[in-house]
Structure 1
Amino acid sequence: MKTVAIRNKDMYWDIAADIHYPPNFDENTKYPTIISAHPIGSCKEQTSGNVYGVKLADQGFVVIAFDASFQGASGGEPRSIEDPTLRVEDFRHVVDYLVTLPYVDEKRIGVLGICGGGGYSINAAMTERRIKAVGTITGANYGRLMREGFSGYNPIAALEAMAKQRTAEARGEPLHVDDLLPPSPEEARRLGATERDVYEATEYYRTPRGQSANGLNRSLLSHQAAAVGWDAFYLAEVLLTQPLMVVVGDKVGAFGAYRDGCEIIGRARSEKKELVVVDGWSHYDLYDKPEPVARALEKLIPFYQENL
């Protein structure tokens, strides 16, 4: 593995990324390459890199797992911005970097997105034609979530609060950063935050199982408005033509990945598309638990081999 800094030429900071190499890597050989995108509030050291990145590299792919701008080890100030437009632009900069590498076959670049990274991957592929195949693991449409559960099903009130906070910060008041999860599973139970996805997210991100100093699940309130008006699947019927594989668990939670998976499979213009339902497992099980990860990869590996 090698850690690199990718210059974001539009915004003047670097995107941090880890490149995972296949066994017996030869820099003089051209490899199919997969961009691996982390979930909302996560980082490259979590499921996108240390699980799927490693395992796909073992199967002969070069895999690049990157941190979103304003998050992880990537640059950008202020921190903890979750802006879908900027998240999608990150993919373009990663592709720009990949096509300069002698061992990357520019005609065989694919993408894999986990959770919110799945929605971003789908959206990026619609207009970034250098991406030739799209896979998602429990992919979620962050814009839908912001209009629904993440705003208490009152997006207008949420937008008013965001606008008020942005004005306050413009006038010099402190930043308001939302901590999106309870600090521990025990505290989640005490608070009654036991809905499947919320609790299991806490169990993953707030314990040694998935904890990382760079994967903090925080979001700057004043910069959330763009997400409320964004939709990962907008124009999928027209622009999403690449081969598509969507992997979800059948143990459904409030974040709605199963619902979003069914929707995008129905809407995508892609001629090759498949919904893979991993029976008996949930959204966060697919992040790192050996059995559901193996079942997802049983489908994804031949998908990328065929389409890259």
Structure 2
Amino acid sequence: MSQKIHFDSDGRTLVGELFLPEDHRGGQRHPALVMLAPMGGYKEHAPFHYAPKFAKHGYAVLAFDYSFYGESEGEPRTLEDPFAKLEDIRSAVTFLTLRQEVETDRIGLWGVCAGGGYAFNAAIGDRRVKAVGTASAMVDLAAMVTGGHGGDWRALMAAAGAARTAYARGEEAQVVPFLPPAGDDGPWRNARTFYTDPERNTVPGWKDQNVIWSYDKLIHWNPNEYVHLVAPTPILLCASKDAETVQQSLTAHERGGDNTDLFLLDGAMHFDLYDQDRFTDPVVERAAEFFAKHLQPDAE
């Protein structure tokens, strides 16, 4: 069962769905999880896939659209602002602490792709979060930018600055493609497989674009540099040994040390952990064990 919800984040109204266990009864309280979508993603991209699965394990689960995306407010549209997303996550946690269905001292985060890095960072500053889980974590977005996603990064920074000035003058926000060009062999090479398949990308209004000055924000974003600061809040990293981005999870595990658990599958690519049951089901089973252990009021 689920219900549409709204909450405020830095003056913007965000829209989401709150999923509850099917056997929920009035007066019951449940441990809770916040689902965090990938970069460029809406609540329908991975969060809506995982939310019912976690609800079956007894969790209240919040999936929502970040600022500038989907049904949530924020202009310009499709601005990928990891710093605004941090505030959105904190606001989502606050929302859950006010819900009568939630055990407010048992809240965790579940992040997919870039949502994993957003989860790391949010957990550093928000100790209401008792545990963090990730799937196909794409943490180092700075390396993505400097590695050529979007073109030569220095030229991209110059273009972003010019676009900011033009927008301030009243022009339309300049956008660039979100998906890599056909034939790209980088870590996002299978993005088209997911986003161009209407059975997987179920958002009719989804656009292949990001506001260009998203990139002068992303150039500053690599939570793997300070993942060790998440401790003592525990982290579970779920990835596939065969995924294009597995090194991101391995690096987080190395730098997070004893504070992190690593769960590796075989055979999946990065985007398979968004919505393919044969891979996400074992991930959820492992994550449910992790959260059951660590979502405790006095977890250290």
Equivalent residue letter for 1:306: K
For 1:88, what is the secondary structure of its paired residue?
A: helix
Q: 1:136 to 1:162 in 2, by over 3 A?
A: same
For 2:129, what is the secondary structure of its paired residue?
A: coil
Equivalent residue letter for 1:280: G
Provide the rounded CA distance (Å) in 1 between the counterparts of 2:287 and 2:268: 17
Provide the rounded CA distance (Å) in 2 between the counterparts of 1:17 and 1:287: 18
For 1:283, what is the secondary structure of its paired residue?
A: coil
Moved more, 128-137 or 238-247: 238-247
**TM-score normalised by length of structure 2:** 0.91
Cα RMSD for the two superposed structures: 1.9
Q: Could you tell me how far 1:298 is from its partner in structure 2? A: 2.4
Provide the rounded CA distance (Å) in 1 between the counterparts of 2:186 and 2:149: 15
Provide the rounded CA distance (Å) in 2 between the counterparts of 1:178 and 1:168: 15
Provide the rounded CA distance (Å) in 2 between the counterparts of 1:26 and 1:247: 32
Q: Could you tell me how far 1:7 is from its partner in structure 2? A: 1.5
Equivalent residue letter for 1:2: Q
Provide the rounded CA distance (Å) in 2 between the counterparts of 1:245 and 1:19: 23
Provide the rounded CA distance (Å) in 2 between the counterparts of 1:174 and 1:238: 39
**Aligned residue runs from structure 1 range 104-119, under 5 A:** 104-119=102-117
Provide the rounded CA distance (Å) in 1 between the counterparts of 2:168 and 2:80: 18
For 1:230, what is the secondary structure of its paired residue?
A: coil
Provide the rounded CA distance (Å) in 1 between the counterparts of 2:177 and 2:282: 32
Q: 1:69 aligns with which of 67, 79, 90?
A: 67
Moved more, 286-295 or 88-97: 286-295
Matched positions, count: 292
> Do 1:71 and 1:214's aligned partners in 2 also have CA atoms closer than 8 Å?
no
Q: 1:228 to 1:197 in 2, by over 3 A?
A: closer
Match of 1:185 in 2: none
Cα deviation 1:254-288 (Å, max 9, x = unaligned): xxx3111011111126x442111111111111111
Moved more, 108-117 or 297-306: 297-306
> Do 1:123 and 1:233's aligned partners in 2 also have CA atoms closer than 8 Å?
no
Q: 1:294 aligns with which of 281, 288, 291?
A: 281
Q: Could you tell me how far 1:217 is from its partner in structure 2? A: 4.3
**Aligned residue runs from structure 1 range 30-49, under 5 A:** 30-49=29-48
Match of 1:220 in 2: 211
Q: 1:223 to 1:106 in 2, by over 3 A?
A: same
Provide the rounded CA distance (Å) in 2 between the counterparts of 1:116 and 1:217: 17
Provide the rounded CA distance (Å) in 2 between the counterparts of 1:281 and 1:15: 32
Cα deviation 1:22-76 (Å, max 9, x = unaligned): 1211231121000001111111122111x11110001111100111101111101
**TM-score normalised by length of structure 1:** 0.89
Structure 1 runs not aligned, ≥5 long: 183-187
Provide the rounded CA distance (Å) in 1 between the counterparts of 2:38 and 2:68: 14
**Aligned residue runs from structure 1 range 226-265, under 5 A:** 226-253=217-244, 257-265=245-253
Match of 2:55 in 1: 57
Equivalent residue letter for 1:101: R
Match of 2:266 in 1: 279
Structure 2 runs not aligned, ≥5 long: 296-300
Q: Percent identity?
A: 28
